[in-house]
Structure 1
Amino acid sequence: MAIAPARSLVESYAPEGTAARYATFGALALLGSIAIAVAGKITVPFWPVPATMQTLAIFVIAAAFGRKLALATLAAYLIEGAAGLPVFTNGGGLAYFAGPTTGYLAGFVIAAGLTGWAADRGLDRNAFKLFAVNLAGTAIILLLGAAWIAMVFGSDKALAWGVGPFIATDVIKAALAAAVVPAGWQIANLLRR
């Protein structure tokens, strides 16, 4: 009887016992949310939304974790922020969800789900395919971010403030993330030999 391949890179290293497996996944979701928060503190000051390293962290986490664990990680991150922990780029609390970054936060969740879904189907093993998925996720993040900017500041500001400053850096981050996880698979395969 053939053993089914792991659905994600993380699943290939998770312990076999149910309790240990779920404890590992819970710890990874917490660590992933912390990584996203730390990446949000690495900023290039734009106004009204700074450029951060969050999309890089989110794409790497989603590709390594798979859809379910990636979405759990993003849920933990948003819950931490809503509870007032300073995990967002400029703080935390429920009021933050009415600020200029709300569209990007929603985009993070959808993009993580998309990249995680692709990883569950094995696209995380090929850098070019993963890059294409990450680009689609980047477009979703920028689209929702710009839509929210348009609602808050007016439609004339959507492209100038919500998309323009981020295109080049987001494409680079999507490419970097697309290179990291396939490399992780290659290392995992070497270690198994």
Structure 2
Amino acid sequence: MKTKELILVALFAALTAIGAFLKINIGYIPFTLQFFFCALSGVLLGAKLGALSQIIYVTIGLFGLPVFSNGGGIGYVFKPSFGFIIGFIFSAYIIGILSNKNNKFFTLFIAQLLGLIVLYIFGSIYMYAIMNFYIGKAFSIINIIKVAVMPFIGVDIIKIFLVSLIGTKIRPIIQKTV
């Protein structure tokens, strides 16, 4: 990897961590800016580097640095929201693949929307498993969707819109330098 790529990957891992601290607690999952930086990493860095930035973010959190919205450490895997954190990796990768070298607003928007759907699916399934099989609290898929998806759709669409605007302006510059 080039030095610039290493710097950008580290930067987006750090930005995702910062996004975790910009939060509003509302229940099992807080409102944060993590998805904003995850999507931006996929759009600006592409599939491999965007996913790598999220892998680094998850790894440093699992090693104990308090970079997740409620801390860090290996025990975080037992939290109902951890599936969304793992989902950032897949979301960034999907966004990077689907927006591959295309700087059009609509393409970036749709790529992120599909990445968000992947994130919601991954996070919801994980939350369902943790709630029902580890915590022992009966939660249906409908309840998971009510708690972990519905409150966030509107805000996440706004994030996608903003990342699409930013991506159309900044992506051509980054593609020339990386």
- Partner residue in 1 for 2:16: 36
Residues 146, 161 of structure 1: 8 Å contact kept: no
Question: Is 2:29 the partner of 1:49?
Answer: yes
Residue-by-residue CA offset, 1:148-175 (whole Å, 9 max, x unaligned):
2222332152112111111111111111
> What residue ranges of structure 1 are gaps of 5+ in the alignment?
1-20
Q: Distance in 2 between matches of 1:140 and 1:51?
A: 18
**What amino acid is the match of 1:168?**
G
Work out which of the residue numbers 68, 72, 75 in structure 2 matches 1:95: 75
How do 1:65-144 residues align onto structure 2 when only pairs under 5 Å count? 65-119=45-99, 121-123=100-102, 125-144=103-122
- 1:27: how far off? 2.1
- Partner residue in 2 for 1:160: 146
- Partner residue in 2 for 1:5: none
Question: Is 2:3 the partner of 1:23?
Answer: yes
Residue-by-residue CA offset, 1:113-139 (whole Å, 9 max, x unaligned):
0111134x322x001111011111111
Q: Distance in 2 between matches of 1:41 and 1:59?
A: 17
Displacement over 4 Å in runs of 4+:
none
User: Structure 1 vs Structure 2: percent identity of aligned residues?
Assistant: 25
Q: Distance in 2 between matches of 1:136 and 1:118?
A: 9
Q: Distance in 2 between matches of 1:135 and 1:23?
A: 30
Residues 84, 120 of structure 2: 8 Å contact kept: yes
Residues 43, 171 of structure 2: 8 Å contact kept: no
Higher gyration radius (CA): 1
**What amino acid is the match of 2:44?**
A
Instruction: Please give the root-mean-square deviation of Cα atoms over the aligned residues, in Å.
Output: 2.0
TM-score (norm 2): 0.87
- Partner residue in 2 for 1:6: none
- Where 1:49 maps in the other structure, the secondary structure is coil
Q: Distance in 1 between matches of 2:125 and 2:31?
A: 17
- Where 1:112 maps in the other structure, the secondary structure is helix
- Partner residue in 1 for 2:125: 147
- Partner residue in 1 for 2:169: 183
> What residue ranges of structure 2 are gaps of 5+ in the alignment?
132-138
Question: Is 2:37 the partner of 1:61?
Answer: no
